[in-house]
Amino acid sequence: ESIIAMPGLGVQLESHYGVPHTPFSSPISLSCTRRFIPLASITDIVMNEGLTGWEFRYYLAVIYQPGVKG
């Protein structure tokens, strides 16, 4: 997962799907999806953390209103 912030334009969200990294092999990407959300459509950005087992995971949510033209 990656997020690219483009000041004045919006954000691009990118997700890779495939086989994860193991001690014996490198990760294999089977597909990639990209989505651009214009700045005019973004209502808010929320960052939160959660506890999974004994580790912390961070979550980022982009709240947007679809159909808004910028």
- Domain spans, the chain: 2-64
Is 55:68 a contact under the CB 8 Å cutoff?
Answer: no
Q: Tokens representing 35?
A: 């989505």
- Number of neighbouring beta carbons within 10 Å of residue 44: 8
**62-68: average pLDDT:** 81
Evaluate if residue 68 carries a pLDDT over 70.
no
Q: What percent of the chain has pLDDT over 70?
A: 96
pLDDT in tens, 16-41: 888 777 777 777 778 889 989 898 89
Pairwise CA distance, residues 22 & 32, whole Å: 20
Please give the Cα distance from 39 to 10 (Å, whole number). 4
Q: Does this model's pTM top 0.85?
A: no
